[in-house]
């Protein structure tokens, strides 16, 4: 049985709080033992990557179970590739945040230079690993080019919002918001907003 969005949020808060507490305890223990606190925090918080991988695989498994049409089956490899790209981004950012930061701290450079290199490296990781949403196999428009005539979540009819980054669905009643600059949206993409083709019932984040 698939969890609702509220249940996913509650589970995410619980797991995230537990892992944060685990990491802080690891850092405190390392400080007491006079070890490198940053490295120990990274090691103790490593399960976070595994948890995210399990969530990603569970989402893909649910999507495959929901698949009913030939078009959805054909889109499965593309959806998996996109989800794997998101996992690589999270894993890459995690490794750079902790392991990369630790290795940079070992260099005989001024603290300000190390911080600049750390921030620049994080920007490069995001730029290289951030996954691009695939194109619709029917109309060939990118699924991230929002908004079209259809709700990308329920594929109902859309009405214009207060700006080009907002729209209202006349079917599910949801107020859709999408920030192109922050690459942030409050909905999942289940189908093409331009031609209305259903591609993935679980939706791409």
Give residue-wise pLDDT tens across range 77-109. Answer: 898 888 888 888 888 887 787 777 777 877 888
d(CA 90, CA 129): 9
**What angle do helix axes 37-44 and 5-32 make, rounded to 10 degrees?**
150
pLDDT digits (tens, 9 = 90+) for 41-58: 556 556 666 666 666 666
d(CA 71, CA 92): 32
User: 47-66 and 5-32 are packed helices; what angle lies between their axes, rounded to 10 degrees?
Assistant: 160
What is the rounded average pLDDT of the residues 64-77?
79
CA torsion through residues 170, 62, 183, 71, sign: negative
What's this model's pTM, rounded to 2 decimal places?
0.69
The edge-to-edge listing of strands for the beta sheet with 184-185 is 158-160, 166-169, 175-179, 184-185
Q: What 3-state DSSP class applies to 149?
A: coil
Q: Which two tokens stand for residue 7?
A: 């249940």
């Amino acid at each position: 049985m698939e969890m609702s969005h509220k249940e996913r949020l509650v589970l995410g808060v619980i797991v995230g709080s537990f892992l944060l507490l685990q990491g802080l305890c690891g850092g405190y223990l390392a400080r007491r033992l006079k070890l490198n606190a940053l490295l120990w925090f990274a090691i103790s918080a490593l399960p976070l990557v595994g948890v995210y991988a399990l969530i990603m695989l569970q989402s893909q498994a649910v999507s495959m179970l929901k698949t009913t049409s030939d078009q959805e089956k054909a889109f499965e490899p593309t959806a998996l590739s996109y989800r794997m790209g998101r996992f690589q981004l999270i894993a890459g950012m995690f490794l750079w945040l902790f392991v990369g930061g630790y290795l940079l701290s070992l260099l005989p450079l001024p603290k300000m230079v190390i911080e600049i290199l750390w921030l620049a490296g994080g920007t490069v990781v995001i730029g290289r690993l951030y996954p691009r949403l695939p194109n619709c196999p029917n109309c060939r428009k990118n699924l991230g080019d929002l908004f079209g005539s259809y709700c990308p979540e329920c594929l109902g009819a859309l009405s214009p919002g207060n700006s080009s980054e907002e729209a209202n669905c006349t079917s599910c009643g949801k107020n859709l918001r999408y920030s192109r600059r922050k690459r942030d949206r409050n909905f999942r993409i289940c189908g093409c907003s331009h031609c209305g083709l259903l591609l993935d019932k679980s939706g791409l984040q």
